[in-house]
Amino acid sequence: MEVLELARWQFGITTVYHFLMVPLTIGLSILVAGMQTAWVRTGNERYLKMTKFWGKLLLVNFAMGVVTGIVQEFQFGMNWSAYSRFVGDVFGAPLAMEGLVAFFVESTFLGLWIFGWDRLSKRVHLACVWAFSLATVASAYFILAANSWMQHPVGVEFVDGKPTMNSIWAVLTNNTALAAIPHTIAGTFSVAAAFLVGIAAWRLWRKRKEADEDRKVWRSSLKLGTWVGVVAFGVLAITGDMQGKLMFEQQPMKMAAAEALCHTEKPASFSILAVGDVANADCESVKTFTVPALLSFLAHNDFSTEVKGVEDLVGQYQEQYGTNYPDDPALGELAGKPIDYVPNLPVTYWGFRTMIGFGALSAGIGVLALWLTRRDRIPNTKWFPRMTLLGIALPFIANSAGWIFTEMGRQPFVVVPNPTGVDGVWMFTAQAVSNVTTGEVWTSLISLTLLYAVLGVVEVFLMVKYVRGGIEGVMPPKKPDRDDGGDEGKSDDDALAFAY
């Protein structure tokens, strides 16, 4: 393998892995902040228990999100230095802002939240969890603005062979980003929602036959998870539709690839499932189950719009961006070779369907679980916890599939040309890699993957342990003379409320 393939595998593995932790962190941190708000406002012990329990799981997960994020910040320089040089003028800005505005707030206020239970007043302590959780959203905003610029470069001019930023406002309000941000944030909530539903349902079911003083904690969590999941799915559908329409204008090849649409159709039908090899670009061997004219509507709000197929688009792309790669030795094996403008169709086609299908299924499981537990019922069947626990995985898979689709769907470009943008502002992925040895990239690919695998096992092990431990596991037995979180009667010699 060449540096290009290795670097792509590394980026894919590390980013998908990082984005398993991130959505849970974002969605759950906001829900935990909400739980703590409810506790501060009502003084109801149930909300404190919720805050402590879900907050602990949040922390187990957050640590992994942070450390895997450091790799992301440096990976561009290590593996993608040609890309970094080419786009740094515009792409670096949101990344640096993410660090300065979001990461500092996130890390500092998280420390205050974890260790501050007995050192800060209730309100200041609550403000810390909000600062932390909103900073996670801010960081998502900046990194999505950066990613959206790669999908749809705006706010730049082309000077001395490089895109040069001329409007940070345009970069930060890129319509691609404005659609991607609510979509991604809703995706994080659907992860957190399924997490709540899955675990709360299991806790309910496990103690279904005995008295459980914490049953209300789990019922509230389950209800919260279900409603958050339903609303999140609604937002996902609406924003996903917005993204589809933008994609039709901005990245027509990705749109065609999402459907494995070979020939231009007017009106175009939406394929629900396919039997056969979608990679075969002549479409002859594929039978698909379709909804007539729906794709036209998704693309342009009109059931008769023409949607271009892969075959026609290839010609169009060849005309605009060339038929062959430049004869540059830096491109390695690809130098002077024809450019393949068609993304990996099975990946884009099935990625798109996995995203939608699993996302919908996850919200559905939440609703079903809520219905099954209506009016203090707890189903007696084993299938109930099995279903909800398996349901936790669904939005994670849907998120990953969505990202794999959107990133693989823009190949062979790393910066996709903007059809109405400035000429010259695009880059092939093959041109983006560093001039480093395959040995170096192999070393980092293997070592990071192994380390991530080991830590993934440890994280799941700890999660399971804390889920089994329930409320008792996260709340130390109370001292008789002190109410939890209060400052009264505290002396300097007291043990810390929390310590590593």
**128 to 167, contacts with another protein by CB under 8 A?**
159, 164-166
* Dihedral in degrees, nearest 10, Cα atoms 416, 421, 424, 427: -10
The first and second tokens of residue 153, run together, are: 């470069």
Q: How many residues bind another protein (CB under 8 A)?
A: 86
Helix residue ranges per DSSP H, 251-375: 252-259, 294-300, 310-321, 345-372
- By beta-carbon proximity to another protein, the closer residue of 211 and 499 is 499
Please state whether the peptide bond connecting residue 417 to the residue before it is cis, i.e. omega within 30 degrees of 0. no
3-state SS class at 190: helix
Q: Which of residues 37-96 bind another protein (CB under 8 A)?
A: 59-60, 62-64, 66-71, 73-74, 76-79, 81-82, 84-85, 87-93, 95-96
Min dist CB 159 to another protein, Å, is 7
Stretch that binds another protein, among 36-44, 279-287, 423-431, 436-444 (CB under 8 A): 436-444
Q: What is the SS3 assignment for 233?
A: helix
| DSSP β-ladder status, 427-428 and 413-415 | antiparallel
Closest to another protein by CB, 165 vs 268, is 165
Q: Which of 12, 40, 448, 482 binds another protein (CB under 8 A)?
A: 448
Among 455, 482, 484, 485, binds another protein (CB under 8 A): 455
Residues in the chain: 500
CA 227 – CA 117 distance, rounded (Å):
29
Work out how close the CB of 117 gets to another protein at its nearest, in angstroms, rounded to a whole number: 11
474 lies in the binding site for another protein (CB under 8 A): yes
173 makes contact with another protein (CB under 8 A) = no
Query: Counting contacts by CB under 8 A, is residue 107 touching another protein?
Result: yes
In single-letter form, the type of residue at position 369 comes to A
What residues pair up with 158 in beta bridges, in sequence order?
163
Distance of closest approach, residue 155 Cβ to another protein, in angstroms: 10
Choose one: 213-221, 262-270, 275-283, 461-469; the region binding another protein (CB under 8 A). Answer: 461-469
Nearest distance, CB of residue 330 and another protein, angstroms = 8
Name which of 42 and 437 has its Cβ closer to another protein.
437
Vertex 240: Cα angle to 245 and 315 (nearest 5)? 40
Q: Are 374 and 447 in contact (CB under 8 A)?
A: no
Told to check if 339 binds another protein by CB under 8 A, we report no
Structure tokens at 277: 């090899």
Tell me: does residue 114 bind another protein (CB under 8 A).
Answer: yes
Binding flag, residue 26, another protein (CB under 8 A): no
The answer to whether residues 18 and 143 touch, using CB atoms and an 8 Å cutoff, is no
Residue holding tokens 């309000």? 173
326 binds another protein (CB under 8 A): no
Distance in Å, CB of 62 to another protein, minimum: 8
